[in-house]
Amino acid sequence: MGLPERLCVAPETEIAVRRTSQVIATASALSAFSVALLSGAAAGNEPSTVLMTGLAVLFGGYLVGLAIGAVGARAVDEHIAQYAEANPTPPIDGAVLHVESDSSLGRSVEKS
């Protein structure tokens, strides 16, 4: 799943979308694991049963979170594409922007 070509401002954009899905998946998996551990311990189950159930829930939570992250990324991509199509950026004819460093101000100054 990639962003539309006209929206790719930087090559890191697609990496950021994949990373976001992985962060959502990891958070979901760790949350499910901690709930499984706490509820299993509170119920008085054997530690091996609690850990095996926790590992199964960890794996399932990761898959569910990965799917949710992918769906969310797809929805954001489609929204951005619809917005860009509805609000096109007008072309700038012949304008060239030069950025010069001005050390006395401690910042870059834009000149056209």
Interval 54-98: pLDDT, tens: 999 999 999 999 999 999 988 988 898 899 889 888 777 765 555
- Number of C-beta neighbours around residue 88 at 10 A: 8
77: in domain: yes
Which residues, listed in sequence order, are joined to residue 101 by a DSSP beta bridge? 108
Distance of alpha carbon 59 from alpha carbon 53, whole angstroms: 10
Interval 17-40: pLDDT, tens: 678 889 999 999 999 999 999 999
69: in domain: yes
- Domain coverage including residue 15: 6-111
As a 3-state breakdown, the chain gives helix, strand, coil percent values, each rounded to 5, of 65, 10, 25
- Residue 99 scores a pLDDT above 60: no
88: in domain: yes
- Residue 5 scores a pLDDT above 90: no
76: in domain: yes
Which residues, listed in sequence order, are joined to residue 107 by a DSSP beta bridge? 102
Q: Which residue has the higher pLDDT, 13 or 33?
A: 33
Number of domains in the chain: 1
